[in-house]
Amino acid sequence: MPIAPVVAVLVIAISVAGLVVLRPGLTAVRGGKILAFFGFFILPVLAATFGFENHIERSKQTSFCLSCHVMAPYGKSLYVDDPSYIPAAHFQNARVPRDQACYTCHTDYSLYGGFKSKIRGLHHIYAQYLSTPHEPITLYHPYNNRECLHCHLGARSFEQGAVHNADPQTMIDIKSNKLSCVSAGCHENVHDIRKADQLKYWKPEQ
Amino acid sequence: MKTQNPHLTRRLRISGTLIIAGLIVQAGSLFWNRPLSFLLFVLVGSVVLTVGIVAYLFAIVTLPDKITENVVRSAEVP
């Protein structure tokens, strides 16, 4: 939901609640009671729900992830001028939405995962604002092929790829996550920030 | 003329102030796209808002509206 209607509901809620606070005598009559119920319950709940939904949507944005200092090199790696770098190739060729590049390939990260992931998300905020993140940061679990397959599964280039079908077991192992897409010798060039200074970078035209 | 019970009036003012404070915090957090703004929304805005709503519901449930009928006698007084 765009921010304008959310703010509109918030402003209306604040106005109605403010009216009742300033003139509580209004609630002596039936119409005033209904107004108070709207101002103190219906509208605030509605505004909070819309606001929460807006926050969740905005937290999928690339800029949200990159707002933490420790993520800056990973954001920079999206501009590596080398098509063998999988995140960069996907980002630069718009194979993933650029404004949701991180979330598209890391759908189970912090806020979007299970309970443990959410707790880790809180730890990330603690590390960002009150402590120092451990660098280099690493994934908590090996990268799950599901993140690739939610787009590539069924795609001709994937299903009929020569290497993927080199032997019948390979495709089965990829689809069952036994053989990682980012294994050495496969699509291993991801966010290799250790080589950040040695790489060339793409500069999109403004 | 109907007047409101003063206890209920006070409770309405307190709960309303909390609700408005929570909504203002939530509104402010929407203009800041960082992880901390989400925490601000949830841990400050939503908590204050919830306390206000609960206080309001508690007020109207436990303190029934004891409306007193005040007859405006001034018109009648010669």
Q: Which residue has the tokens 């939405």?
A: A97
Q: Which residues of A touch B2 (CB under 8 A)?
A: 28-29
Tokens in use for B23?
């909504």
Residues 6+ apart with CB under 8 A from A157: none
pLDDT in tens, A85-129: 999 999 999 999 999 999 999 987 767 777 787 788 888 888 888
How confident is the model over B34-61, as pLDDT tens digits?
888 999 999 999 999 999 999 999 999 9
Average pLDDT (A182-202) is 90
Beta strands B68-69; B2-3: pairing state: antiparallel
Give the three-state DSSP class for B22.
helix
**Which residues have C-beta within 8 Å of that of residue A118, sequence separation ≥ 6?**
A110, A111
| Residue of chain B with shortest Cα separation from A2 | B30
What integer is the mean pLDDT of B1-6?
67
Rounded CA-CA distance A178/A146 in Å is 11
Q: Does A28 touch chain B (CB under 8 A)?
A: yes
At A69 the pLDDT is 87
A149, A175 in Cβ contact below 8 A? Answer: yes
pLDDT at B3: 60
What does the alpha-carbon distance between residue B4 and residue B8 come to, in Å, rounded to a whole number? 7
Lowest mean pLDDT among A111-120, A134-143, A150-159: A111-120
> pTM above 0.90?
no
Which positions in chain B have a beta carbon within 8 angstroms of at least one beta carbon in chain A?
Answer: 2-4, 8-9, 12-13, 15-17, 19-20, 22-24, 26-27, 29-31, 33-39, 41-42, 45-46, 49, 52-53, 56-57, 65, 67
User: Hey, is the C-beta of A31 within 8 angstroms of any chain B C-beta?
Assistant: no
Confidence of residue A140 (pLDDT cuts 50, 70, 90): confident
CB-based contact, A67 to chain B, within 8 Å: yes
Question: B8: nearest CA in chain A?
Answer: A24
Q: Is B49 in Cβ contact with A27 (below 8 Å)?
A: no
- H/E/C letters for each residue in chain A? CCHHHHHHHHHHHHHHHHHHHHCHHHHHCHHHHHHHHHHHHHHHHHHHHHHHHHHHHHCCCHHHHCCCHHHHHHHHHHHECCCCCHHHHHHHCCCCCHHHHHHHHCCCCHHHCCHHHHHHHHHHHHHHHCCCCCCCCCCCCCCCCHHHHHHHCCCHHHHCCCCCCCCHHHHHHHHCCCCCCCCCCCCCCCCCHHHHHHCCECCCCC
Query: Is there a contact between B27 and A14 if contact means CB atoms under 8 Å apart?
Result: yes
* ipTM here: 0.79
Interatomic CA distance for residues A118 and A111, integer angstroms = 5
3-state secondary structure of B31: coil
**Residue pLDDT, tens place only, B6-35:** 888 999 999 999 999 999 999 999 998 888
